[in-house]
Amino acid sequence: MIDTIFRFAWSIPSLLFAITIHEYAHGMMADYLGDPTPRLSGRLTLNPIAHLDPIGAISLLIFRFGWAKPVPINPLNFKDYRKGMILTALAGPFSNFVSAFLFSWVFKFSMHLLAHIPEAGMSNIASIFARGWLILLVNGVIFNLVLAIFNLIPVPPLDGSMVLFALLPARWEYEIEKYKSYSYIILILLVFTGTISKILYPALNFFIGTFNLLY
């Protein structure tokens, strides 16, 4: 029980970072491309509370897939509607991929340092902190990769659907819009039928393996 609480406690900073950087990247890209909506709505911030969706965060913490509170954007403010939609949608997952790589690099570096410190030479407090630090870094890799991969699935309201709609001809986009109200049902079915897991975990293993090869 104590070990579970310890792991959860050290996982929370990684969770908050992954969610915050994802939504902040969306907002920054939209703002850069001419849409002030994220800034005006107070979402162009690194404050995790502004981006936290409680259910999505708990799901990510427990089930290893989840979401944050979407950043509001107005694509009509983009000079190029389709380009703006695609770049804004991809900014979040891209920021998570970069963050996952950085977390993995720091993890490898930390393991290298700890390997050169005699276990007998570490105090109990230092040993506990080192264990917590490694848990934080491992979860930093996992949470960032999960957010990136999960959000690239082309089902509304996930980022992948924004990219898909922007690439489709206008007439198709209009037809699909009619069925957006059913998107949450589709998403729930994908989760409970195990389809999400079949997409998520092989992709997760692929990226973790790729990071290991880079070192």
- Contact of 92 with 25, CB cutoff 8 Å: yes
| Residue that is written with structure tokens 């939504």 in the block | 23
Task: Return the H-helix or E-strand segment holding 93.
Answer: helix 81-115
User: Does 23 qualify as catalytic in the annotation?
Assistant: yes
Neighbouring C-beta atoms of residue 68, cutoff 10 Å:
26
Q: Which of 23, 119, 175, 177 is catalytic?
A: 23
- Contact of 188 with 133, CB cutoff 8 Å: no
Q: Please give the Cα distance from 18 to 12 (Å, whole number).
A: 10
Q: Is the backbone of residue 180 left (phi > 0), alpha (psi -120 to 50) or beta?
A: alpha
Q: Is the backbone of residue 194 left (phi > 0), alpha (psi -120 to 50) or beta?
A: left
Tell me the catalytic residues: 23
